[in-house]
Amino acid sequence: MGVLDMSNPPPTSQTKDFFPSPALSLSLAGIFRRGAAAANLEVEEGDEGSGGGGAAAASAGGGGRREETVEISSENSGPLRSRSDDMDDYEGEGEQDDGGEDDQNNKKKKRKKYHRHTAEQIREMEALFKESPHPDEKQRQQLSKQLGLHPRQVKFWFQNRRTQIKAIQERHENGLLKTELEKLRDENKALRETIQKASCPSCGFATSAKGPSTASDEQQLRIENARLKAEVEKLRAALGRYTPGTSPSDSSCSAGNEFENRSCLEFYSGIFGLEKSRIMEIVNQALEELKQMATLGQPLWIRSLESGREILNYDEYMKKFPFENAKNAGPKRPIEASRETGIVFVELPPLVQCFMDVNQWKEMFPGRVSKAATVDVVCTGEGANRDGLVQLMFAELQMLTPMVPTREVYFVRYSKQISADQWAIVDVSIDKVEDSVDASLTKCRKRPSGCIIEDKSNGHCKVTWVEHLECQKSTVHSLYRAVVNSGLAFGARHWMTTLQLQCERLAFFMATNVPTKDSSGVATLAGRKSILKLAHRMTVSFCRALGASSYNTWSKITSKSGDDIRVASRKNLNDPGEPLGVILCAVSSVWLPVSHHDLFDFLRDESRRNEWDMMLNGAPAQSIANLAKGQDRGNAVTIQTIKTKDNSMWVLQDSCTNAYESMVVYAPVDISSMQSVMTGCDSSNIAVLPSGFSILLDGVESRPLVITSRLEEKSSEGGSLLTIAFQILTSNSPTAKPSVESLESVNTLISCTLQKIKASLNCED
């Protein structure tokens, strides 16, 4: 039994970042009314086991619904004791059935006899109630003889006591819901006022209520409301979580932890009406499918002769997993399936923990995951490693360009230890959840996907990653159509290469025996870590500003060279990591007939920086610090100094590359602040506003006339998709609006930079 302490209420669900729709508010109001009604239930006579008997059964809202109790202290129950301690109970058994055939008027005239229980009788019944809230017939007979009461009086006292406790629970939970509702209403009002005051980045004037900016904001509100619905569904379930046919003594929850351990089967009412047992059945089925998808070869997976990638034989898949496809003769949406295996430089426990913690998972994939949240915890898992953890999660997946729409997906993540040195991380979408959210949000559905992680000792793990998705068709810019349709954009290879890159970065960050050649220009280990931490924060900020996430509202303009440019503005009011004021971000993507390795090497090379960087005015850049963060020489953080006729400037640059994607991110930094960081001082308050480049394979395995310096790749490597992004501070005042001059500045900056890059790489035509 749990102890409900009204002085220390359980924590509310994490819904502070979201707000309800009007329909959701009505649903909450209905819950409040039902809770209030439960507190004023009348006592009914009858057999406790029958459908119509018992106040507690009436409170539960159904004849067969079981009753649940929670032990409470006398201090908390004091104000409500009139329902049990001071109740004038009915005396005499025969009067209930007497006069069953009399006239209705005669019934109303009959008066029932009541009497008040003594303090001793109440104490004895309270003592038994704490041990057994549902006494059997033998216990009631024994207690009635001991107290000099009729067995029916004892029975009704216990029924009323259970009803009283349920009313206390519901009143407390109603209070929590009311508080949360008021908070959400305030946030809703503030956000709507922000939408009304939104300004157009093209002209600086306020947008109309039905303009494109508002439409995008409303789309964001629907995304947040979808998760909020799941949160409220969880709270609503607390009012009706009593499962028929079970006994409180069977509860697997430990005493005093009822509200903390909502995942126990007795109390868990499920996600959108799904019971925990059904959810566990789904995730265990998905685990078995993932293990086979990760280990089986032909004929399930066939290797492409052209690209060398594995392709799922869908006909064989339908035969192999009939339980997955029993409901549907074929997929509802286009299918994307991919598999990739690789070695990552990290130990098993921290890697598994990264997938269990949604914040660590989002930080591990900053360019892939723009939003992520744990909506509900179905099962907390067992032991210190939380084996068997089951979570309902929401994620918004992106590419590093605003030209490709994001993918929003709800899925259940199951983290299960298979053996002493092997774990499985299983992601699978559940139909009932998909059907319960806004249809405009369900752009992607996960069939059993995830990874099998195997400890290979010496700080390494073997990871086999499987991505199996049903994706709603969406409009994709022609530049990125090939890479998206081929499954490379959101496939297993992209996830795997990103994981390898991030694990290698963490290993180099934690290393204490760094060779001098990998840490030139920085004298101390503390200084090295401080610089690497600042560079990583800069890159994460760049990834967030660059994508098509609902964080950003993009407007399209045309550059002087004819390329499309997308611009978005935001206000920084209190984040010390960026300059305060209005920030304008401009992004453009182009295809270049240059291998992505050559393009990356050109952009990260400080000796060639003056060929494309407009800030230098032709002045050379010189590296004063170079910190390796990976085995590839391109994975490094550098501090570059540029001396012009007028002044001297420092630039912090973070470059990273893998077989699929590369980035060069940089930002000018204050010289004195950077010098203190190099000595090991905290870098969290250093304001940086990053710009840079994202370089991606174009998705076509071989193209003619592709420029590359690597002879072995001339016949196998395609061109590159280059995304260039600049961020500028247009005003130090948060109330200012982007000006036409600022738009002209970023337009000129992007056009001239692209022109210089093409000229330097001999691909102007």
Tell me the two tokens of residue 96: 């209930």
Contacts from 189-194 at CB under 8 Å and sequence distance 24+? 191/19, 191/217, 191/221
pLDDT score recorded for residue 323: 57
C-alpha to C-alpha distances, 349 to 276, 352, 414, 506, 661, nearest whole angstrom = 27, 5, 16, 14, 27
pLDDT score recorded for residue 235: 58
Tell me the two tokens of residue 164: 């009283």
Instruction: Enter the DSSP assignment of 118.
Output: P
Rounded CA Rg of the chain: 32
pLDDT score recorded for residue 16: 39
pLDDT in tens, 185-240: 888 888 877 776 655 544 444 444 444 445 555 656 666 666 666 666 655 555 44
pLDDT score recorded for residue 463: 95
Ranges in the chain, pLDDT < 50: 1-101, 109, 201-213, 239-270, 326, 328-330, 439-442, 702-705, 711-715
Map residue 167 onto helix, strand or coil. helix
pLDDT score recorded for residue 270: 47
At residue 225, φ and ψ (nearest 5 deg) are -65, -35
Whose tokens are 């959400």? That residue is 184
Residues 6+ apart with CB under 8 A from 535: 637, 652, 654, 665
State the pTM of this model.
0.63
Tell me the two tokens of residue 132: 């057994």
pLDDT score recorded for residue 677: 92
pLDDT score recorded for residue 417: 93
pLDDT score recorded for residue 435: 52
pLDDT score recorded for residue 74: 35
What number of H helices and E strands is found in the chain?
A: 19, 22
pLDDT in tens, 52-64: 444 333 333 444 4
C-alpha to C-alpha distances, 65 to 38, 137, 234, 533, 676, nearest whole angstrom = 15, 20, 19, 56, 67
CA angle 646, 647, 651 (to 5 degrees): 140
Instruction: Enter the DSSP assignment of 71.
Output: B
Residue 492 burial (CB < 10 Å; 0-12/13-18/19+)? buried
Contacts from 122-128 at CB under 8 Å and sequence distance 24+? 122/84, 122/85, 125/154, 125/157, 125/158, 125/161, 126/74
Are 582 and 738 spatial neighbours (Cβ–Cβ below 8 Å)? yes
In this structure, is the dihedral angle defined by the CA atoms of residues 681, 684, 689 and 693, taken in order, positive or negative?
Answer: positive
CA angle 83, 85, 87 (to 5 degrees): 55
pLDDT score recorded for residue 334: 79
Amino acid at 668: P
Tell me the two tokens of residue 178: 């009311």
pLDDT score recorded for residue 219: 58
